[in-house]
Amino acid sequence: MRRCIALLVLAACAAPAATPRQVLDVTGIDYAYAAPDTVAAGEAEIAFHNAGTVLHEVKLIALRPGVDLATVLPLARVDTGWAAYREPTSGILTARPGERTPGRLLVTFEAGRHYLLICHFADTDDAPLHSELGMAKVLVVR
């Protein structure tokens, strides 16, 4: 009986360690994102830091195959106009000026897909969207 208990302990110790998720650090400034151009396929945590002086968000949206930033960006102000070019929003992180989000967005990046990072905030009701000022970026999944 003692021998069986010893074997069970060894088996538990020999289990492979979980693969760590990649962390994608996204920094928002007035008005752009600093983030890698490419990411690896698989699970990832997105962390958002607002280094700007106004409220920013980062929305993560998978684009439909063949759709690029130039196609979708002019449509971003009209929610119904660009629905055909994208998948539903995967998640949103919002941070006040100078802050990091306390939580992270967990996503599974699909190989070969393109994901849009975009901020739809505007500084006033009649101001342009931050995306129109340059706060939009495409990530390509390797």
- Is 130 near Cu ion (CB under 5 A)? yes
Decide if residue 121 touches Cu ion (CB under 5 A): yes
Q: Which stretch binds Cu ion (CB under 5 A): 6-14, 33-41, 55-63, 107-115?
A: 55-63
d(CA 87, CA 72): 12
Q: What's the start-to-end Cα distance of the chain, in Å?
A: 51
Q: Which two tokens stand for residue 68?
A: 């690029």
Size of the site for Cu ion (CB under 5 A): 5
The interface mask with Cu ion, positions 14-53, x = CB under 5 A, is ----------------------------------------
Q: Does 58 bind Cu ion (CB under 5 A)?
A: no
d(CA 109, CA 111): 6
Residue located via tokens 């945590």: 45
Q: Is 116 in the site for Cu ion (CB under 5 A)?
A: no
Examine residue 85 and tell whether it contacts Cu ion (CB under 5 A). no
Between 86 and 130, name the residue whose CB sits nearer to Cu ion: 130
C-beta of residue 22 within 8 angstroms of C-beta of residue 38: no
104 contributes a contact to Cu ion by CB under 5 A: no
Measuring CA to CA, which residue among 43, 104, 108, 114 is closest to residue 72?
A: 114
What is the binding site for Cu ion (CB under 5 A)?
A: 56, 119, 121, 130, 135
